[in-house]
Amino acid sequence: MDLKEVIQTLKVGIIGGTGYVGAELIRLLSCHKKIEISAISSVSFSGKKLSDIYQNFYNLNNLVCENEEDVLEKSDIIFLALPNGLSEELAEKILKRNKICIDMGADFRFKNGLTYKKWYGKDFSLPELHEKSVYGLPELNREKIKGAKIIGNPGCYATSIELALLPLISKNLIEETGIISDSKSGVTGSGKSLSESSHFTNCNESLSAYKIANHRHTPEIEETLGSISSKDVKLTFVPHLLPINRGILSTIYTTPKEKINLTELHKEYSNFYKNEPFVNVLPLGGTAKINNVRLSNYCQISLHYDAENNKLILVSCIDNMIKGSAGQGIQNMNLALGFNEKEGLDFIPPAF
């Protein structure tokens, strides 16, 4: 694949194009000025028009769901928006065609195969692919993502928590154990398949914790942050289901190794993220909230200090479907292809 030629005529395909992530990718990519959506596939809706499944695309998108091989042949870069455990074989096919694969699931988020097996119940079937893959958090791995052929897009909760903690872990400012994250997400985070907890009557006018200290994003966060720390990072993570469509708010409790000056720490955070186009550190006194990032690729972070108990509290907010999923995938695509990182993503969140 001649990259210079592809930059002029880049064709993007999506395998698993009718789930929530696939549909969001299509919506966002439709506004991207440098690509063309070439093909999508769906096992459940093969042969059907996208607009028959999601009427927001009516008269705006004429894509018809094809098979996986059609997507592989027609596309230069392929997003895999599939359930966990299904991406390795497809990634191998994509790599053999010298094309680029961005996996939106968990299969390429881990380097440690034992950790993946413990939490997902499956061995790496093609471990050599994982050696070639890059974890797609741009704020951590930007240079590695550029030119990468296999990119593992981070989990949504993981993105919100990792972005909040990166400055602290990288500068050895907090205890690596005893970190607690109380995180809340909208119902789209659980995907399109209906479950008992996502029934309207069970989640409306309610707030519930689930997978307490047993969520699969926990080892992803620990492995990612541990990769930049001299010690193992240990996290207690409790996710909650909010009765809203989209958005994540993570409230993270940490213990500083020394008493901190919050004003100085805020300067450290602002400096750490000063060149990051999609991370905004709020002024002291402000508090990050979901409404400020909804329908955008931005992450907002606010800093708070409980001096009596020496606890540094971070609040981090993202839209789980954009910065937590499809938007970050497109950000990774832009980096891998040498586009402006903000292409197709630099829209301002709505005020209400």
pLDDT digits (tens, 9 = 90+) for 266-294: 999 999 999 999 999 999 999 999 999 99
pLDDT band at 204 (very low <50, low <70, confident <90, very high): confident
Averaged pLDDT for residues 131-149: 97
Asked whether residue 7 carries a pLDDT value surpassing 70, the answer given is no
Residue extent(s) of CATH 3.40.50.720 domains in the chain: 3-154+323-337
Averaged pLDDT for residues 165-176: 97
* Cβ atoms of residues 279 and 163 within 8 Å: yes
The pLDDT mean for the chain works out to: 94
Of residues 172 and 205, the one with the higher pLDDT is 172
Neighbouring residues of 303: CB distance < 8 A, sequence distance ≥ 6: 262, 265, 266, 269, 281, 284, 312, 313, 314
Of residues 246 and 203, the one with the higher pLDDT is 246
Q: What pLDDT digit, counting tens, does each position of 35-53 carry?
A: 999 999 999 999 999 999 9
pLDDT score of 202:
75
Please name every residue paired with 248 in a beta bridge, in sequence order, or none if there are none.
185, 318
Asked whether residue 264 carries a pLDDT value surpassing 80, the answer given is yes
pLDDT score of 66:
96
Q: How far is CA 147 from CA 5, 25, 187, in A?
A: 15, 21, 34
Averaged pLDDT for residues 314-342: 98
Neighbouring residues of 346: CB distance < 8 A, sequence distance ≥ 6: 277, 297
Asked whether residue 329 carries a pLDDT value surpassing 90, the answer given is yes
Q: Which CATH superfamily is domain 3-154+323-337 in?
A: NAD(P)-binding Rossmann-like Domain (3.40.50.720)
Asked whether residue 4 carries a pLDDT value surpassing 50, the answer given is no
- Strand 150-152 relative to strand 100-103, pairing: parallel
**This model's pTM is above 0.85:** yes
Asked whether residue 177 carries a pLDDT value surpassing 80, the answer given is yes
* Cβ atoms of residues 78 and 13 within 8 Å: yes
pLDDT score of 201:
74
Q: How many CB atoms are closer than 10 A to CB 351?
A: 6
pLDDT score of 6:
46
Instruction: Report, at the CATH architecture level, how domain 157-320 is classified.
Output: 2-Layer Sandwich (3.30)
The catalytic residue among 65, 156, 299, 317 is 156
Q: How far is CA 156 from CA 53, 79, 95, 251, in A?
A: 25, 16, 26, 14
Distance CA 352, CA 342 (A): 23
pLDDT score of 171:
95
Whether 203 is catalytic is: no
285: left (phi over 0), alpha (psi -120 to 50) or beta: left
Distance CA 108, CA 74 (A): 23
Q: What pLDDT digit, counting tens, does each position of 227-242 carry?
A: 999 899 999 999 999 9
Percent of the chain with pLDDT over 90: 90
Please name every residue paired with 134 in a beta bridge, in sequence order, or none if there are none.
151
Place of tokens 């289901």: 241
Q: What pLDDT digit, counting tens, does each position of 95-124 carry?
A: 999 999 999 999 999 999 999 999 999 999
pLDDT score of 191:
72
Distance CA 156, CA 319 (A): 8
pLDDT band at 193 (very low <50, low <70, confident <90, very high): low
Of residues 191 and 27, the one with the higher pLDDT is 27
Distance CA 152, CA 142 (A): 13
Residue extent(s) of CATH 3.30.360.10 domains in the chain: 157-320
